[in-house]
């Protein structure tokens, strides 16, 4: 009986934690991680302040948990939809398309969560900075791995400079996000998609595997 009671409390605690983090990632994407407040979240979500503080012992703990929650959302919308595609330029193109769609559809109301909060912490030091830096490093490494797998599969020119290629693809995506959020317009995504596709067709061994236009 005691075990059942304990399990119920754990389940409710996990549900409350998910509810808080769902709201926290949205707030942070607009107002930054410094804009998060345990008290404000408790009030907004009509939760006990003591209960919220019990789940997150400090503001930094909340910020770190928020970044981790955003990573899961990012993977769900950008990485996982392309997971069943075989290695090749079509897989790389799909990842870029997914990223543009993730930003365009405002999965996070402030556009790309990581573009927003990284600017807030890029010159700082500490656990939050390190976690954000690791998330970005992992994303870039994943794109580079996908490009190298495309080379091995024969879909990408073996002479292509993979780090340079990924740098350019990322720059196109992030510029689209920045322009869209700043000016509240969405044509930048079409421009980025056109630029990315042109770049990929230029290094593809068989450009016909890719669409001629986005």
CATH number reported for the structural domain that contains residue 14 in this entry: 1.10.357.10
What is the domain count for the chain?
1
SS3 164: helix
Rounded Cα gap, residues 69 and 24, in angstroms: 9
Say if CB 77 and CB 107 are below 8 A apart: yes
Residue 203 lies in a domain: yes
Residue 214 lies in a domain: no
- In three-state form (DSSP H/G/I as H, E/B as E, the rest C), the secondary structure along 58-107 is CHHHHHHHHHHHHHHHHHHHHHHHHCCCCCCHHHHHHHHHHHHHHHHCCC
Residue 11 lies in a domain: yes
Predicted TM-score (pTM) above 0.85: yes
- Written as tens digits, the pLDDT of the chain (214 aa) is 545 545 566 667 678 889 999 999 999 999 999 999 988 898 888 888 888 888 898 899 999 999 999 999 999 999 999 999 999 999 999 999 999 999 999 999 999 999 999 999 999 999 999 999 999 999 999 999 999 999 999 999 999 999 999 999 999 999 999 999 999 999 999 999 999 999 999 999 999 999 988 8
Tokens of 90: 């079509």
Residue 39 lies in a domain: yes
Residue 31 lies in a domain: yes
Residue 59 lies in a domain: yes
Structural domain of residue 205, as residue ranges?
A: 2-209
Return the DSSP state at 185. -
Residue 88, phi then psi, degrees to nearest 5: 155, 180
């Amino acid at each position: 009986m005691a075990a059942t009671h304990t399990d119920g409390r754990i389940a409710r605690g996990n549900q409350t934690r998910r509810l808080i983090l769902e709201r926290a990632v949205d707030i942070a994407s607009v107002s930054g991680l410094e804009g998060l407040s345990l008290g404000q979240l408790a009030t907004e979500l009509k939760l006990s302040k003591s209960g919220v503080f019990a789940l997150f012992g400090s503001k930094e703990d909340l910020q770190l948990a928020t970044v981790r929650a955003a990573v899961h959302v990012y993977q769900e919308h950008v990485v996982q939809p392309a997971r069943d595609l075989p290695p090749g330029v079509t897989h790389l193109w799909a990842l870029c398309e997914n990223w543009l769609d993730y930003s365009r559809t405002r999965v996070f109301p402030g556009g790309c969560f990581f573009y927003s909060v990284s600017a807030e912490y890029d010159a700082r030091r500490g656990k939050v900075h390190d976690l954000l830096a690791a998330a970005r490093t992992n994303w870039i490494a994943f794109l580079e791995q996908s490009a190298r797998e495309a080379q091995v599969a024969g879909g990408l020119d073996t002479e292509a400079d993979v780090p340079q290629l990924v740098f350019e693809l990322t720059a196109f995506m992030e510029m689209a996000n920045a322009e869209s959020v700043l000016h509240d317009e969405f044509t930048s995504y079409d421009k980025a998609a056109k630029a990315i596709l042109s770049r990929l067709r230029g290094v593809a061994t068989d450009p016909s595997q890719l669409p001629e236009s986005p």
